[in-house]
Amino acid sequence: MIFGRRGRERFLEAVTGLEAAVRERGGKAAQHAIQQMYGGFDEAADHELLAAGPRLAALLPEMPDGPRAMTAVAVGACVERGADATQCAGYVFDGLAGALGAAGEFCERWEATGGGDLPDHDSGDPEPEVIERVGQAATAGWWLLPRWEMATVAMLNRPEVRTGLGSGLRTRLLEALRAVQELSGHDFKCLHYALLVLDDEPLVALHRPTGTGYALRMTGIGDNFQLHTLLADALVGGGHVPGHAPSAQETAVCRDAPGQVPATGSFNLVTPDGDWVWNEGTPSDIPVVDGVRLLVLDPPPYQRGWPAGRFFPGMTGALVLERVLDQNETRGWLERCAPAK
């Protein structure tokens, strides 16, 4: 998240000014305080951002749509710099839920009033004709959704937020997001994938060529490219199965190191029914069988390469090999799987 540069001493002063403006319903004063806050962000000390994050988050329910979304982005930036995400996330999720509902309404009204290409979020402020056609609140929901996506992903980068989200809220947000995706044709991929991230999730991987099985546990893995590399490190790099082992650098960037490096595929990821699990998808695509995600590893049908790294650079990923399954247990799992295609 990029903010302009101003004097550090002005940052918390701007936060205090925004609090006063929100209490007093001073729209112009609030806008000025937000501009001052953005201007001072880069040079603010970490302890200022730690204090500001929860204070700004608590203002969100009292703010109108535009300033609310701008402030939510600032909250996300504070969390990225160390502010307590658990104190901020609930306010951001409430704002996201409202924006998703309004964006879905926007798409429905747009179609009902003639359809056509939806307006681009990045095309500046909405034209008056758009607001007249669809309504102010619905337009704000659609226009501001990318900002809520940005703020929400910043919250979901933190494992304590993901594990505290709760299945009910996660399901409601995903359902609302999918409705917008279907109506708009826009994937909002970062938000979608962030809501799908699994933590402390058991995974059984069956290596069909050797007839061996492995119990693992995954946390904070954003996509199956990242999972693929970490699986190869645990199993090939760990000496359990033959094949191409990723380098230490490939593995590091899939855990917590910055950047990307070229990687080569080691397996073909397959469901128990024999369908491919695409690297472009997420670990949530792996079916659950008897309470665990069950994945079959077949030989790669052709050489595949990609930039190893993390879909979410701010999210730490982990895949832990807990134990090697015995022959009987592995055989039992493999007997439940379709033959290789």
Q: Using the predicted structure, report yes or no on whether residue 9 has a pLDDT greater than 80.
A: no
Q: What is the DSSP string of 45-73?
A: -HHHHHHHHHHHHHHGGGS-HHHHHHHHH
**Mean pLDDT of the residues in the chain:** 94
- Is residue 3 situated within a structural domain? no
Same domain, residue pair 184 and 226: no
pLDDT in tens, 161-172: 999 999 999 999
Same domain, residue pair 261 and 184: no
Q: Whole-angstrom Cα distance, residue 18 to residue 13?
A: 9
Same domain, residue pair 93 and 215: no
pLDDT in tens, 329-341: 999 999 999 998 7
Q: What is the identity of the amino acid at 214?
A: Y
Same domain, residue pair 140 and 212: no
Same domain, residue pair 184 and 115: yes
Query: With bands split at pLDDT 50, 70 and 90, how would you rate the model's confidence at 25?
Result: confident
Q: Whole-angstrom Cα distance, residue 81 to residue 119?
A: 33
| E strand map for the chain | 201-207, 212-219, 261-264, 268-270, 288-289, 292-298, 305-308, 318-324
pLDDT in tens, 169-192: 999 999 999 999 999 999 999 999
CA 312 to each of CA 2, 66, 123, 187, 225: distance values in angstroms, whole numbers, following the listed order? 17, 26, 26, 16, 12
Q: Which domain holds residue 132?
A: 8-196
Q: What is the DSSP string of 96-111?
A: HHHHHHHHHHHHHHHH
Same domain, residue pair 172 and 230: no
Query: What is the per-residue pLDDT for 325?
Result: 98
Same domain, residue pair 205 and 80: no
Same domain, residue pair 188 and 259: no
Structurally, how many domains does the chain consist of?
Answer: 2
CA 61 to each of CA 1, 56, 137, 164, 279: distance values in angstroms, whole numbers, following the listed order? 22, 10, 15, 21, 39
Query: What is the per-residue pLDDT for 122?
Result: 76
Same domain, residue pair 245 and 178: no
Selection from 74, 134, 127 nearest residue 102 by Cα: 134
Selection from 83, 55, 242, 73 nearest residue 161 by Cα: 83
- Is residue 255 situated within a structural domain? yes
